[in-house]
């Protein structure tokens, strides 16, 4: 599976997102009304203000605080290099990420777990909101499905089955991959950001997800996991 894939022309990525404001009360009044309308079906009987802690899921009401990326290297055995773009200024973070992609081949393959449903569209939406031109690797308008160089490890695992969502945690468990969920999980990121002010902790969590996704990709290809001493994490680009 995926034997034809050139890992040296592939970038694994993951994003961490949080609500744009610490609390629902800080939302501008007109945005509170739009939030109420947007989430009326998802929250059911739950009040809009308490449901707001999940606002990071929606690109219209959330923001990206970290993008971690990983690239396979030519080292033997296989190496993997991880870097993060993290910060409180989302626009600055996205500009740096876009500039990095601009320096890469236009046919670079982007890979993420649930990336087609979440990471890729979220990044594109937030870039457009900030007036940032989409890099070539994120341009999908007018392209045929097979012309889009995006790989989603969750989609690969479905094998055409559309019934369910399979978490990265579950897949790492069944493939005996060290878990990235040994500290926090996605549901806690907003609290860690707004209440504990621990962006570094979020960044570490994001990097672990990137490594886990890369390891999953190796398993899908029937290959050995990347050794811990072959993984390099460089300082975040803050």
Separation between Cα atoms, residue 166 and residue 52, nearest integer Å: 25
| pLDDT (average), residues 181-203 | 87
Separation between Cα atoms, residue 40 and residue 32, nearest integer Å: 12
Whether the per-residue pLDDT at 91 is higher than 90: the answer is yes
Q: Would residue 48 count as lying in a domain?
A: no
DSSP 135-179: PGGG--TT--GGG--EEEHHHHHHTT--S----HHHHHHHTT---
Q: Give the range of the structural domain holding residue 174, as residue numbers without chain letter.
A: 7-20+61-233
Q: How confident is the prediction for the chain on average, in pLDDT?
A: 93
Separation between Cα atoms, residue 236 and residue 86, nearest integer Å: 7
Q: Would residue 39 count as lying in a domain?
A: no
pLDDT confidence band for 186 (50 / 70 / 90): confident
Give the contacts of 175 (CB within 8 A, at least 6 positions apart).
215, 216, 219
pLDDT digits (tens, 9 = 90+) for 2-24: 888 999 999 999 999 999 999 99
Could you tell me which of 68, 99, 53 has the C-alpha nearest to residue 202? 68
Whether the per-residue pLDDT at 175 is higher than 70: the answer is yes
Residue 74's CATH number: 3.30.420.10
Joined tokens for residue 183? 């500290």
Strand stretches in the chain, DSSP E: 10-19, 62-73, 79-86, 109-112, 150-152, 231-233
Q: Would residue 210 count as lying in a domain?
A: yes
Q: Would residue 30 count as lying in a domain?
A: no
State residue 25's pLDDT score: 95
Number of domains making up the chain: 1
8 A C-beta contact, residue 237 and residue 83: yes
Q: Would residue 44 count as lying in a domain?
A: no
pLDDT confidence band for 124 (50 / 70 / 90): very high
Whether the per-residue pLDDT at 139 is higher than 60: the answer is yes
Q: Would residue 26 count as lying in a domain?
A: no
Least confident span in 18-32, 49-63, 73-87? 73-87
Whether the per-residue pLDDT at 97 is higher than 50: the answer is yes
State residue 120's pLDDT score: 98
HSE toward the beta carbon, residue 231, CA cutoff 13 A: 16
- % of the chain beyond a pLDDT of 90: 83
State residue 238's pLDDT score: 47
Whether the per-residue pLDDT at 77 is higher than 80: the answer is no
This prediction's pTM: 0.94
State residue 237's pLDDT score: 59
């Amino acid at each position: 599976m995926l034997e034809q894939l050139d890992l040296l022309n592939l970038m694994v990525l993951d994003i961490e997102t949080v609500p744009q404001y610490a609390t629902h009360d800080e939302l501008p009044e007109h945005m509170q009304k739009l939030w109420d309308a947007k989430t009326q079906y998802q929250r059911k009987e739950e009040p809009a203000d308490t449901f707001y802690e999940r606002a990071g899921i929606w690109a219209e009401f959330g923001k990206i605080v970290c993008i971690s990326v990983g690239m396979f290297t030519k080292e033997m055995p296989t190496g993997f290099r991880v870097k993060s773009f993290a910060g409180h200024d989302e626009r600055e973070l996205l500009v740096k990420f876009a500039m990095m992609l601009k320096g890469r081949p236009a046919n670079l393959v982007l890979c993420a777990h649930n990336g087609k449903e979440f990471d890729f569209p979220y990044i594109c939406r937030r870039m457009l909101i900030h007036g940032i031109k989409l890099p070539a690797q994120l341009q999908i308008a007018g392209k045929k499905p097979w012309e889009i160089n995006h790989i989603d490890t969750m989609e690969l695992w479905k094998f055409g089955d559309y019934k369910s969502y399979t978490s990265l945690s579950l897949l790492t468990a069944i493939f005996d991959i060290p878990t990235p969920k040994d500290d926090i999980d996605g549901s806690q990121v907003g609290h860690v950001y707004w209440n504990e002010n621990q962006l570094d902790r979020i960044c570490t969590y994001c990097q672990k997800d990137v490594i886990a996704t890369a390891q999953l990709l190796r398993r899908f290809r029937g290959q050995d996991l990347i050794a811990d001493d072959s993984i390099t994490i460089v300082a975040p680009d803050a």
